[in-house]
């Protein structure tokens, strides 16, 4: 943990030991320590690209069938090629190993270890996808039908007051995680498909949009 080394010079001992020994009241009264603790928690929970690939395996071969209000029915299917765009790997334009390959090939090479965690995290554009990797473990939860997940956004691009690349987005599943919002966008090109996975520090893609009730989400193995 690179940030820990600097902190150790301040506190005089390994920060891991320090934060575990500190008492909660002290965290509340010390702004600097609260910041370090939050950074520690984020780093401990951070997923790597290979962990994301392994998690994504649990979605492969499954068709998710949605039933919404107003007699709306649709289904989406996760393929190996969707992983590339969900994590925004096209943003890492400085990695030559990602160029000239099909998205499904890239996914398989990440899964096998030919494309390593270090290669991805060393990109100068890694910060553009870091939050996606951090929150990717929430993706399966977006597809679970429960009390906290009964709403889907009927997305209208014209309701946004900023430019976006979501030209083909039809629906958005979302959940709030702390101060961040995680979104699974569902695109429409002849058929509906998992489009991309977005993390935003706010309700930018949700506010002002039409919300529909989800009546059920059924899963079929294919």
Residues 6+ apart with CB under 8 A from 18: 11
CA distance 157 to 200: 17
User: Residue 27: what are its φ and ψ, rounded to 5°?
Assistant: -60, -40
Our CA angle for 71, 82, 211, nearest 5°, is 30
> Does residue 197 contact residue 182 with C-beta atoms inside 8 Å?
yes
CA distance 72 to 90: 32
> Does residue 74 contact residue 218 with C-beta atoms inside 8 Å?
no
pLDDT in tens, 5-36: 444 444 444 444 444 444 444 444 455 544 45
For the chain, the straight-line distance linking the first and the last C-alpha, in angstroms and rounded, comes to: 41
Residue 180 has what pLDDT? 94
Helix, strand, coil % in the chain, rounded to nearest 5: 40, 25, 35
Query: For 145-151, which contacts have Cβ atoms below 8 Å and span 24 or more sequence positions?
Result: 145/214, 145/216, 145/217, 148/175, 149/173, 149/175, 149/214, 150/213, 150/214, 151/211, 151/212, 151/213, 151/214
pLDDT band of residue 149 (cuts 50, 70, 90) is confident
Q: What is the pTM of this model?
A: 0.79
> Does residue 75 contact residue 170 with C-beta atoms inside 8 Å?
no
pLDDT in tens, 154-177: 999 999 999 999 999 999 999 998
Could you give the dihedral angle defined by the CA atoms of residues 189, 195, 200 and 206, in that order, rounded to the nearest 10 degrees? 40
Lowest model confidence (mean pLDDT) among 5-19, 78-92, 178-192, 202-216: 5-19
Tokens of residue 33, six digits: 């320590």
């Amino acid at each position: 943990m690179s940030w820990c080394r600097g902190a150790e010079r301040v506190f005089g001992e390994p920060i891991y030991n320090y934060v575990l020994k500190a008492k909660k009241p002290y965290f509340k009264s010390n702004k600097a320590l609260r910041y370090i603790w939050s950074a520690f928690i984020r780093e401990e929970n951070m997923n790597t690209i290979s962990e994301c690939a392994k998690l994504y395996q649990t979605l492969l071969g499954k068709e998710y069938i949605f039933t919404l209000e107003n007699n709306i029915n649709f289904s989406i299917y996760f393929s190996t090629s969707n992983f590339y765009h969900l994590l925004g790997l096209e943003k890492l334009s400085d990695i030559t190993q990602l160029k000239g390959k099909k998205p499904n090939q890239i996914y398989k090479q990440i899964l096998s270890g030919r494309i390593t965690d270090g290669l991805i995290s060393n990109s100068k554009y890694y910060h553009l996808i870091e939050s996606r990797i951090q929150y990717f473990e929430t993706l399966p939860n977006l597809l679970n039908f429960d009390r906290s997940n009964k709403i889907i956004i009927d997305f209208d691009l014209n309701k946004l007051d900023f430019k976006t690349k979501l030209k083909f987005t039809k629906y958005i599943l979302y959940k709030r995680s702390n101060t961040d919002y995680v979104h699974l966008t569902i695109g429409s090109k002849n058929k509906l498909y998992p489009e991309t996975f977005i993390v935003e520090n706010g309700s930018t893609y949700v506010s002002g949009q039409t919300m529909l009730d989800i009546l059920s989400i059924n899963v079929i193995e294919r």
